[in-house]
Structure formats: structure tokens, C-alpha cells
Amino acid sequence: CNRQEHVIYGMCLDGKCCRRNESEKFMLRRNDLCRLAGYQTVETKGRNKDGRRFQGEMLYSSLMRDLLPEAEYAVEPLYAAAYNGDVNAIHALAKLKVNPNIKHPSSGYTALHAAVFKCKLDAVVALLTCFRGALRLDVQDKKGDTALHVASRMGFVEITAAICDEDSCDPLCCTNDEGKYPIDVIRTHKVWQMIKVCQTRNELKAELKALLKG
């Protein structure tokens, strides 16, 4: 008889890999030190571990939806994918419709915060694109910073521009716990220029919308 194993591959923050097996069902633990990076389904023939194997495509084609009974438990692989810049995993998790706004228990970072912190532009763009309408740009970490605060402070011009291009809300208007806007924490002139351009553009958009409504 054929037997299916759900094999979970993880990547710790120190770069070491780990592996866990569950024969039927698993639940991701948010406080786990290992940040789960992906899933594969391995089908083995009988009990022969060296028998023929079929490996499904990472994440969505091999991971059945009922293996994630609670969407919130899927934040760990999304966080890991964003942290490591794994765009394919982000696209796959988006198809599972996981919640992108859940915070990391220690830092308060969301997946977007993690991608910004690691300067993973492709991952930031993938999150903004795949989770458009669900991804909140005003979510704050434990210091009250949004992802745009982090990008502005660290001087990431392209990431700052990508976040500011989103129309779901105006991230420039969000303040942290110190009452500071993203423009208040900028440390480089290029990011300051980018923020000013985005502010001017948003003001023009607002004026245009007002004219069209009038």
C-alpha cells in the first residue's frame, strides 16, 4: 500500500536546516524556534524508505488545505519566506489565503516587516501584489513602527517607493509610538526625496478625486 508523509522542511535563523515528519496531521507552533520555510509531500511505496518517491511542488500543490485548520498558524512559513526572500513560497502561500498581518510573537514584525528588514525587494513586491486587499500597511511592531518606518530608517529607497505606491491606505500618515511619521525617521537624503515625491503625488491624487466628485 502507498503511504503519504507530510515532510516539513524548516530553516532556522542561524542557517541550520531541520526536518520534521508527521504521518497524518500537524499544527504549526508560533513560538517554535524554527521558522518553517516550506512543505513537500513525499509519497513512499510501502514501508521501503528507498522506494519510489513523488515530490509535489513546494507548498500549495502538496499541502492540503485541511492541514492548516487555523489560518493564523501559517504565519510562520510566510514570515520565513519573506525573511529569506522566497518569492515562490510567498506566491504559494497567497493561494492558501493565509493571513499576512499576524505578528511575530517576539518582535511584533509581520511578514512585510521581515522582508523590509532584510532588504528583500522582490519579497516586498510579492507580498504587496499577492496579498493586495488583505495586507495592512499600518500594522505596527512592538516599537510602534510600520514597515514603512523600518524602510525609511534603514534607507531602502526602492522598498520605500514600493510601499508608497500602494493605494490601499496612505502609509505616510501612520505614526509610531513616539508620534513620528516615516519621514521623521529618515536618515538618508534619497529616501527623504522619495517620501516627498510620494507625498506630493498623494496630495495631487486627493485633489483630483475631489475634483472628479465635485
The pLDDT of residue 169: 64
Res 74 pLDDT > 70: no
Res 8 pLDDT > 50: no
The pLDDT of residue 9: 36
Res 117 pLDDT > 70: yes
The radius of gyration of the chain from alpha carbons, rounded to an integer in Å, stands at 20
The pLDDT of residue 210: 85
- Using alpha carbons, select from 204, 75, 57 the residue that is nearest to residue 131: 75
Least confident interval from 14-23, 102-111, 176-185: 14-23
Give residue 203's pLDDT band: very low, low, confident or very high (50, 70, 90): confident
Mean pLDDT in residue range 139-165: 93
The pLDDT of residue 173: 84
| Overall pTM surpassing 0.85 (yes/no) | no
Contact 12, 33 (CB under 8 A): yes
DSSP letter string, 114-129 = HHHHTT-HHHHHHHHH
The pLDDT of residue 130: 96
Every domain of the chain and the residues it spans: 148-214
Burial of 206 (0-12, 13-18, 19+ CB in 10 A): exposed
The pLDDT of residue 101: 94
